[in-house]
Structures are given as C-alpha cells and as structure tokens.
Amino acid sequence: MSETQTQEPDLVIEDQTSPLDTPAPEADAPAPEPEEVVVTIGDEPAPEPQETTPAPEWVRELRRVNREREREIKELRDKLAAKEAAPPPATDPGKKPTLEDHDYDTDAYEKELTAWYERKRKADEEVTRQLQAEQDQQKAWQAKLEGYAKAKTELRVPDYEDAEAVAQETFSVPQQSIIVAGAENPALLIYAMGRNPAKAKELAAITDPVKFTFAVAKLEAQLKVTPRKAPPAPEKPIRSIGGVSVSGAVDGTLERLREEASRTGDMTKVIAYKRQKAAAARK
C-alpha cells in the first residue's frame, strides 16, 4: 500500500471563537501615554474629534449579549463548514492479522503480519506529522493573538472598543482569523474597518478566502496614521491688579498680597513672597 501523500497544512484553528476577543495583556507599570492618532483609508478626510459620552451600563450589556448571540450563530455555521471540509482520517492499517485468519498457514500469516506492521508504521508516522503540524500552527496562532492584543493597547484612539465590536459583527470568524494572521498590523486594520462600516461590509462580502486575503492586503496598504491635532490652547486670562494688567496663570497668594499692597501702599510682603518663590525655584 503506497504512503498517503501529505500537503502543507493550512491554518487550522480548532477554537472557533472570535480572535478579536483576545484580552489585552496587563501592563506591569503605567507608562506615559503616547499621542492620540487618527486612522484613515486612502485620501479620505480625517474625521473630526468628537466628545463621546459613555453608554449606560444596561446599553453596553445589551450590546454585549447581542454580539455573543451573533457570534455563536456564526461559530456554529463555521464549525459545520469546517466539518464538511475536514481532511480524511489517517491511514488505517486495518485489523492485525492472526494465524487463524490464514488457516494456520505460517508462511502466509508471517507475510501478512510483516505487511501489517509496515502499514501501521506509516500510519503512526502520519499521525505524528499531523499532530506536530497542528501544534506548530497553534503556537503560531497564539503568538498572533498575543501580538494583536498588545498592538490594540498601543494604538492611541479613543473608541477602539466600539470599532472592534463593529468588526466582530461584520466579519465571520474565519475572516477575522485571516486578518489577525496575515495583516501587518491587524489592530490598526480592525480599527479602520470598524470606523468604516460600509467598507467593512464590502470587504466581508468577499467569501473566497484567497480573494479576501488579497483585498485585505490591498486595503491595509492604503491605511494612514497621523497624530491627532491638539485643540488650540485657551487664551490665558488677563487680570488687572492695582491698575496693572497681568496675563497668565495667577498665583492666588501673590494676587492677594498685591491687592493688600494696593490698599496699604506697602509692598514689603509682595517682595518677600517673590524672593521666597525664587529661592525655592533655584533649589
């Protein structure tokens, strides 16, 4: 019996849960927050920053439950499709021959026994290769998940969680897996898709995995990340103390001493306080 030909294994993910549900790693120590960024696709204009009000707890819980139900339906469909497309089982060497099966013909029995051991050896080797391939794939997949979880914590945008939820609802689990496994920066791409539901639906409509992969790569090449422009600083207040205009942040103590000096004509306390502050600044 010829040895079964083996093909290079595809990415097989036994766990059909959404890869976007991977929790972000906990930080060991708080780090300085980087500047927020704006993510756009191609030459589209950057969205204006919006002041968002957190949704009530009951609304967020309802959204979470709805996402869980939709995800479970998608997972069941994907598992059924994966089961139908599952590869055939490893070669079965068959029942071990016995002397009785060969009418106690020792020559025939030994010949068949030798052939059976050879079939079993090949079957065991095939099983070992399959298990090793699955373990390697699982390790590579886990590394991708950890990279995605880390990247989404480093992407400084105010609404990543909402954008991620839109992507989860739009893409199937296999499509999410392709994005996480193949994109250069899946966190950035997921956010861009979540902020552009129309573009996400257009991409999700591509059911052919190969065409979908190429479309994802083409779209990712169009992503642009720019620092969010900070709003202009408010003008510093200008106040009048003793008939003199003073701009900038006002020292409450100094203001009080100056007002007192304007009433009494004695600047001694003002001068002493300013000397005290100057000496403290030099330390």
Q: Which residue has the higher pLDDT, 265 or 249?
A: 265
On the 0-12 / 13-18 / 19+ scale of CB atoms within 10 A, 26 is: exposed
Please tell me the distance from the alpha carbon of residue 99 to that of residue 95, in angstroms, as a whole number.
13
Q: What is the pLDDT of residue 11?
A: 43
pLDDT digits (tens, 9 = 90+) for 233-262: 555 555 554 444 444 455 778 888 888 888
For residue 267, how many other CB atoms are within 10 A of its CB?
A: 15
Confidence of residue 202 (pLDDT cuts 50, 70, 90): very high
Residue 28, burial from CB neighbour count under 10 angstroms (0-12, 13-18, 19+):
exposed
Band (29; pLDDT cuts 50, 70, 90): very low
Sign of CA dihedral 100, 106, 108, 110: positive
Alpha-carbon span 270 to 260, nearest angstrom: 9
pTM across the whole model: 0.52
**What confidence score (pLDDT) does residue 31 get?**
45
User: Taking a C-beta distance cutoff of 8 angstroms, is the pair 156, 35 a contact?
Assistant: yes
Q: For residues 151 and 185, what is the distance between their CA atoms, to the nearest angstrom?
A: 8
Confidence of residue 182 (pLDDT cuts 50, 70, 90): confident
Which range of 78-82, 125-129, 260-264 scores highest in mean pLDDT? It is: 125-129
Percentage of the chain modeled with pLDDT above 70 = 63
Calculate the alpha carbon distances from 253 to 151, 260, 269, 270, 273 in Å.
Answer: 47, 11, 11, 9, 9
